[in-house]
Amino acid sequence: MEPKLELHGFNNLTKSLSFNIYDICYARTEEQRKAYIEYIDEMYNAERLTQILTDVVKIIGANILNIAHQDYDPHGASVTMLIAEHEEAPEGNISEASPGPLPETLVGHLDKSHVTVHTYPESHPYEGISTFRADIDVSTCGLISPLKALNYLIHSFDSDIVTVDYRVRGFTRDVNGKKHYSDHEMSSIQDYLTEDTRAAYQMMDVNVYQDNLFHTKMILREFNLDNYVFGVNAADLDKEEADDILQRLQKEMLEIFYSRNLP
């Protein structure tokens, strides 16, 4: 184990994890589209999101100071938590590149930190495509990386596409006055995902190592139409309609993954 860096004062590096999770669905009729949005609103209402973030806070080892949550009309929800450090630092190598638990309590060292989630259900007015997006931010100061919560969060949502950004901001000084712009080595966000998650998704990295900026995009490898049609069974669709729906869904997913409209 590498010796701990002896600091002058508090470790005030800010580690920020931001990511979007997308769930894609095909709802053929207006009634099915409304039912899908209602299902999403119920499945990921403010109460459920509060529980998910409470689990995140346990995983990264923080104390909850304050919770603000709100369900919106006509749809969507938001939750924000202010969190504070535990009195003791975690045991072991807290910067090791490995997946976090699902979910077990760890002890962390955090201060002036927060976790937030906002949801955005929406539907295409003509093509029958509906999407659900969750924007999640975990920002911490101190010893532990919020990346330990990433594995649990991906498993908490039906995630067809995930885009993740991680950045270490600011600097901290050692006892000799030297500035340190990161307190852990890192090569990829993928190192913090379980083997089964890495196998399930096609991934692409865009990293700027000298600026401690890391970006990973993820899209599911397997595509089962039954998982994407709402209110009907894929087996009840004729082949021409099924192929058309499949083409629409795959185009939607690729456009979100590559952040551009395709012809």
Q: Is residue 85 a contact partner of residue 142, using CB atoms and an 8 Å limit?
A: yes
Residue 98 φ then ψ, to 5°: -155, 155
Q: Distance between CA atoms of 67 and 60, rounded to whole angstroms?
A: 17
Cβ contact 36:197 at 8 Å: no
Q: Give me 252's structure tokens.
A: 């939607």
- Neighbour count for residue 2 (Cβ, 10 Å): 8
Cα 156 to chain center, whole Å?
Answer: 9
How far is CA 184 from each of CA 4, 47, 144, 192, rounded to the nearest angstrom?
11, 35, 10, 13
Distances (CA, A) of 32 to 61, 217, 230: 41, 30, 7
* 3-class DSSP assignment, residue 247: helix
d(CA 181, CA 140) in angstroms, rounded, equals 15
Catalytic residues: 113, 118, 141
CB 177 within 8 A of CB 125: no
Residue 246 vs residues 95, 111, 237, 251, 252: alpha-carbon distances, Å: 42, 47, 11, 9, 10
Return the structure tokens found at 62. 């923080």
